[in-house]
Homo-oligomer: A and B are copies of this chain.
Amino acid sequence: MDTHYLESLLGYNARRAALAVIGVFLQRMEPYGLRPVDFSVLTLIAHNPGVTSRQICTALDILPPNLVGIVKSLQSRGWIVRRPHPTDRRAQGLHLTEAGRLLQSQAQVTATQLENDAASPLTARELDTLKLLLRKVYQR
């Protein structure tokens, strides 16, 4: 089966690699009930207490209507709370609960460990180079 041409395309390789890594992520995060975007949102709140939904949408390139359900789900599981924004009464600041802090730190350890397994054919140096080049592609 000749797949040489497809394998010469950046889009094809990026999509295949992303799906492979996300596959490992889904397996390892299944015990936490966290999908990739759930983890990203939880992690942004952990590192940016009081962040708003709109800021998260901009940072992660998510459409606002699609974030609503994610925030609701994290809140219903007792991991985040919404507090009034200090200066803008339209907005709400998002914060982790104590349970949320515990879960996020455990999930972050899992995410960090998962790297090595998902990228096991790469040396540490190759992995760093790969991540650097990927960032160059999507950061403008």
Q: Which residues of A contact B (CB under 8 A)?
A: 1-22, 24-25, 36, 40, 43-44, 47-48, 51, 55, 59, 61, 108, 111-112, 114-115, 118-119, 121-122, 126-127, 129-131, 133-138, 140
B133 and A122: CB pair below 8 A?
Answer: yes
Q: Give the Cβ gap from A6 to chain B, nearest Cβ, in Å.
A: 6
Q: A5-B108, A9-B115, A40-B12 are in contact. Are A19 and B61 (CB under 8 A)?
A: yes
Q: A16-B134, A119-B137 are in contact. Are A127 and B6 (CB under 8 A)?
A: no
Q: Which of B13, B24, B55 contacts A1 (CB 8 A)?
A: B55
When distances are taken between beta carbons in the complex, the residues of chain B under 8 Å from A137 are: 17, 20-21, 118-119, 121-122, 130
